Chain A
């Protein structure tokens, strides 16, 4: 299969994720969108790895998966604490840092 198809899938997923991060209100959905972006990157890595027959990309993909898991753990904890402190999961209402 052509490399292009995978790259286009990756680009589509990445754009979807980026849109979600920018447009969604709920912290949980933002985290999910970030996961989408990470997975888009992983698809690219695997695709290039298969294309060049180099194993480095596969190893990187494993790293990305592991780090994504850790990142979700930290991110969910942050969302929970934000919810506990401000009684809302929506990020658009958080503007204490406004200058």
Chain B
């Protein structure tokens, strides 16, 4: 079973765990089966099956990550491809099931298993006594298995399978409390909106083997990710095909990763339990789109001509998403929605990073964002669980909670600082790498968009922290600190939020993340190694980013804590009020989709077709009719009555008489029919015998 690709490059056999990394998605899948089949018997103990499975997977992922770093040091990091079995093949077209393990896959495995493990632990307390406790943990296991299947896939079809499965799990978990109509609506909205993008993804995946086909001169079809990338980069493929493929795949990214204009499902997805929001709608599933972009980067690189600089669709979509997501976060009352819009905005950074050629920056931001955003979501869950009596309304039920919940407060602060790019924390390294990469790659405009986004991030997160933890307590309950089951995951995640950025701290001379994750060396024909923007660290750019974050902190402090500035302007000033309403109604995008797009199909389209029917078609028909009538009158008198009528009447009478005869045969009795059938067969048989 050992992959021919690795052997062909003359490298030594890959370590056992890299060859057998399929274990990481098989184990949670088994855990899902056990919980769904026998979960009721275990009651609330079933969560331990999931936790045990995830702990094993997490350990395996750490082992794989360690082996990968060793592999990189000794063998230049050629991806380990292991074809497990061939599903079907036909005429040179074969589709197998296998794994492709390289830095990107190993990194995703590490993130997914670790955060999933923490979320499992957190959920044992958060979901205690829930009506569908076993279903919840079964879905979490299935989600983890699907996500790991997605990230380890060696071909695009397998990736598509994982992609759809995570979408299904997302649907099930958003609608976990389906007794409330709003939750089922949110689940449906999430599912249908991402499906809209998935149509594009499906077409894109269907195009991928044709890229290989064209590059090999019509000899060979393949869904293999490595082959698709190297074919796209080989220069032997027409640009139109690559552009079509990249655009279709981008539609999939837009749907899954909450990019403008299909981002509207993500805030509504907060209807699900908070640990689910942390795992699926912040740390892992929503970055599947970004992962796809990074995985098939050869296609996007050539398709969107990223090396040419200037504008391309991917960077534009990402840039728009950064700004519109951040702007919406200002007007939310619900703490989870602030974080959801923040996630949209940060996903915009990642997609923009891919679009401007800052591949490593985008992936690094994906990596760090997973930790601090999971930290923030779980923190919000802790606040709601113990401080606000299961409400998420910052204005009505929170405020002043820092005195009651010190651990949650400090971990939330660390997550906020990491998100807003506080110096030396995780987000500082990764977000600034994207901004610097945009600037150095010749995309000045996008670098400025990134900086404005960073400023907005600092301000809205300042508002969120103020409303939640400062001022007077506005709720009507007895807030208290959450217990250890909730706070220990928070503490672990905040340690990561502080420290994880240092693995790619350029000014300290540390480039581990780059060495481990980015393909390099002469063998990497599947990746534009030389051309992508390799970011250099400049103190001036770092200083600018820090200054922007500091300005954001200052504005947030002045507005919220000091009450400086024109408070209440939205009540007094018509222009400000309309701006506020515009944001509060989410740019009317939901109204656009349900009211205009759906409404257009329902109402006006029907009316329009009625109008066309009434005036255009009827008019034509009437005009034709009266003209024809006059002509007909003349013809009628002359030819019709004498010649045609005679013929027609004769024919009709003949038909009628024949019908009368045949009517007898049509008796409705099955056995008569059978008799006729047998008679016919006998006649034909006799005729055949006589003929011979």
Contact = CB atoms under 8 A, between A and B. Distances in A.
B658 to A, nearest CB: 13
A8 B668 CA distance: 34
B562 interface: no
Nearest to A93: B669
- Chief secondary structure at chain B's binding surface: helix
B667 A98 contact: yes
Interface string A4-35: 00000000000000100111000000100000
Interface stretch (B194-202, B223-231, B670-678): B670-678
Given A23-B671, A92-B671, 8 more contacts: A18-B678, A22-B671, A91-B670, A91-B671, A92-B669, A94-B669, A94-B670, A97-B668
Interface string A66-99: 0000000000000000000000000110111111
A22 B678 contact: yes
B675 A96 contact: no
Nearest to A18: B678
Contact of A99 (B668, B670, B675, B678): B668
Interface in A38-90: none
B666 interface: yes
Contact of A98 (B668, B671, B674): B668
A15 B678 CA distance: 11
Interface residues of A, number: 13
Interface of A: 18, 21-23, 30, 91-92, 94-99
Interface in B631-688: 663, 666-671, 674-675, 678
Interface of B: 663, 666-671, 674-675, 678
Given A18-B678, A22-B678, A96 B668 contact: yes
A91 B669 contact: yes
A13 to B, nearest CB: 15
B668 A95 contact: yes
Contacts of B663: 99
A75 to B, nearest CB: 12
B668 A22 contact: no
A23 B669 CA distance: 12
B674 A22 contact: yes
Contacts of B671: 21-23, 30, 91-92
Contacts of B674: 21-22
Nearest to B659: A99
B409 to A, nearest CB: 70
Contact of A22 (B666, B667, B675): B675
A98 to B, nearest CB: 3
Contacts of A18: 678
Nearest to A30: B671
Contacts of B667: 95, 98
Given A22-B674, A22-B675, A99 B669 contact: no
B667 to A, nearest CB: 6
20 contacts: A18-B678, A21-B671, A22-B671, A23-B671, A30-B671, A91-B669, A91-B671, A92-B669, A92-B671, A94-B668, A95-B668, A95-B669, A96-B668, A97-B666, A97-B668, A98-B667, A98-B668, A98-B669, A99-B663, A99-B666
A99 B668 CA distance: 7
Nearest to A92: B669
A90 B235 CA distance: 76
Contacts of A23: 671
Contacts of A96: 668
A59 to B, nearest CB: 26
A16 B663 CA distance: 30
